[in-house]
Chains A and B, each alone.
Chain A
Amino acid sequence: MTVVVEGRAITRDYLVPGSLTRKAKTVHAVKGISFAVERGKTLAIVGESGSGKSTLARIIALIDPASGGELRIEGQPVDIASQRLTREMRSKVQMVFQNPYGSLNPRQKIGDVLMEPLLLNTDTPAAERRRRAEEMLVKVGLPVEVFNRYPHMFSGGQRQRIAIARALMLKPTLLVLDEPVSALDLSVQAQVLNLLADLQAEFNLAYVFISHDLSVVRYIADDVLVMNKGEAVEQGTREAVFAAPSHPYTRELFAATPITDVEAIRARVARRQALRAATI
């Protein structure tokens, strides 16, 4: 088993500059998290909003530096604050951002969005770049006709699939996905999750997968890390975490998951009708 990415006691502080009306302060967004992801495996990170998931994701994806701790990619210590990334390292690790719209250049056509990583990081000839971009579009469930459209011409879920397609263009070893399916309806979500599973099997990809949807996590994860206020409050295999969640926050997560039980709907509808009758 080869470990693709490993973090040891990773921390991240944000300095919030002061102004006339307030003092400068430090936010401790990630407070010493350790983890390892093996080739072909998926680590899911769940946790409350603001608990530091995206912050940790950007560190793992080599976009932001950590404030402390050590990050290793395939055994090599990597610190983007002190070393320049090689083209090879850059293509190995890719990220899908939580906010797909903000991560797409509004003036760049979708075809160019997909071909750009190949242009910048590889010596793939133009015709081949185009062929691979078209192939990827189809894989994420979009027709090739959209090649010349701009990002604003897509729906939320379509843009999210474009962001996923872009991250896959370089056939990375490690893919960090920040809420990649949260804007997708169940059918497209299933299509994307199936695609991710296929690619993982085909290329032995490692995933770090951030999600707040426990049913998705249960489907995709090998290991689960639960974050709360910058700390890992629970960490283990999917089976262990789902069978016996030990931290109160994890249990709260399970309890708050909405239910589609017909009896519960019936009770709620009756309550609303009574309320409406009372106010008329």
Chain B
Amino acid sequence: MSILNIRNLTVRFATSTGSFTAVDGIDVRVDKGEVLAIVGESGSGKSVSMLAAMGLLPDTATVTADEMTFDGQNLLAMSPRDRRRIIGREITMIFQEPIASLNPSFTAGYQIEEVLRYNAGMSKRDARARALELFKQVGIPEPEEKLKSYPHQMSGGQCQRVMIAMAIATGPRLLIADEPTTALDVTIQKQILDLLMKLQEQTGMALILITHDMGVVAETADRVQVQYKGKKMEEADVLSLFEAPKHPYTRALLSALPENATGDRLPTVSSFMVEPEVKV
């Protein structure tokens, strides 16, 4: 049973130099209780396709799709009001640039309590208690103290964990995590991934994980989708992908791991792909 089903998604941006296609006919399907990893090179449309599903792209974007449904409901035809009932509650997203996504003028505690009160309908008191619990869950040190801190008073990794706490606060049925652990060292990354996987297994939520870290893919995903220049290159269950990657780009991704450096040069994808450069 798919919870999110997107078919033939195209996103075009109007720019000063004409129209630019960021996503070019991509399908994304994730089932209930499934972990889908999306990997792919920088600029290949991973974030834009998910922002399109959330309805969060700027006006310069034109979004078309043959289908875009959440639990059978048509997201494209939905009134903005109905869509708001789903986005931020049933579908939540951990944004790629956590520090930039937090409001610098409010404390972290205030921001997460707002989410709990407006999106989960909690009373002020319950929200406060739940916020503290969530901060502990994501492993923020001195959680009471940090609830009262402003974003600039926290480290990059601490801000990222505040964003993660906000995204899981409402008990979503689909969580889209865009590079959720890039600012975290591996020990905390492990703690966060364990937490997300535990939540996933307990609540049956679906998880879309955008990452460039093949180690993270290996340790979390059920299925993997590989994107390159706005197109889907390969889709496979996680085991097949690592055992026998089909597409040259996927093979390149796996061999670009720094531990595979030859001499003092690192292999790049272009040393594997013989394809004309497409304009950014």
CB distance from B182 to the nearest CB of A (A): 4
Contact B141 A183 (CB under 8 A): no
Contact B257 A54 (CB under 8 A): no
Give CA–CA (A259, B266) in the complex, Å.
20
Contact B40 A101 (CB under 8 A): no
Contact A98 B268 (CB under 8 A): no
Q: Which residues of A contact B253 (CB under 8 A)?
A: 185-187
1/0 per position for B17-58, CB-CB distance to A under 8 A?
A: 100000000000000010000011111001110000000001
Contact A212 B184 (CB under 8 A): yes
* Set A98, A155, A261: member contacting B47, Cβ < 8 A: A155
- Residue in B187, B259, B261 with the greatest tally of chain A CB atoms within 10 Å: B187
| B212 CB within 8 Å of chain A | yes
Give CA–CA (A145, B217) in the complex, Å.
34
1/0 per position for B216-245, CB-CB distance to A under 8 A?
A: 111100100000000000000111001100
| A149 CB within 8 Å of chain B | yes
Which stretch from B62-70, B155-163, B164-172 is at the chain A interface? Answer: B155-163
| B114 CB within 8 Å of chain A | no
Which stretch from A14-22, A30-38, A72-80, A167-175 is at the chain B interface? Answer: A14-22
| A157 CB within 8 Å of chain B | yes
- Chain A's closest residue to B58 (CB) is A152
| B143 CB within 8 Å of chain A | no
Which stretch from A4-12, A115-123, A268-276 is at the chain B interface? Answer: A268-276
* Total B residues in contact with A, Cβ cutoff 8 Å: 73
For chain A, give the interface size range. 35 or more
| B10 CB within 8 Å of chain A | no
* Set A47, A158, A279: member contacting B43, Cβ < 8 A: A158
Q: Which residues of B contact A49 (CB under 8 A)?
A: 155-158, 161, 183-185, 188
Q: Which residues of A contact B183 (CB under 8 A)?
A: 49, 98, 179, 182
Given contacts A48-B187, A214-B186, contact A269 B238 (CB under 8 A): yes
Q: Which residues of A contact B46 (CB under 8 A)?
A: 155
Contact B218 A265 (CB under 8 A): yes
| A199 CB within 8 Å of chain B | no
Given A155-B47, A156-B42, 17 other A-B residues pairs in contact with their CB atoms under 8 A:
A16-B153, A50-B157, A54-B155, A101-B97, A182-B182, A185-B41, A186-B212, A187-B41, A194-B268, A212-B185, A215-B259, A257-B215, A258-B215, A258-B218, A260-B217, A272-B222, A275-B201
Chain A contacts to B: CB under 8 angstroms: 14, 16, 19, 21-22, 46-50, 53-54, 98-102, 142-143, 145-146, 148-149, 152-158, 161, 178-179, 182-191, 193-194, 197, 212-216, 218-219, 252-253, 256-262, 264-266, 268-269, 272, 275-276, 279
Chain B contacts to A: CB under 8 angstroms: 13, 15-17, 33, 39-43, 46-48, 58, 96-97, 99-100, 141, 145, 148-149, 153-158, 161, 178-179, 182-190, 201, 204, 212-219, 222, 237-239, 242-243, 252-254, 256-259, 261, 264-270, 279-280
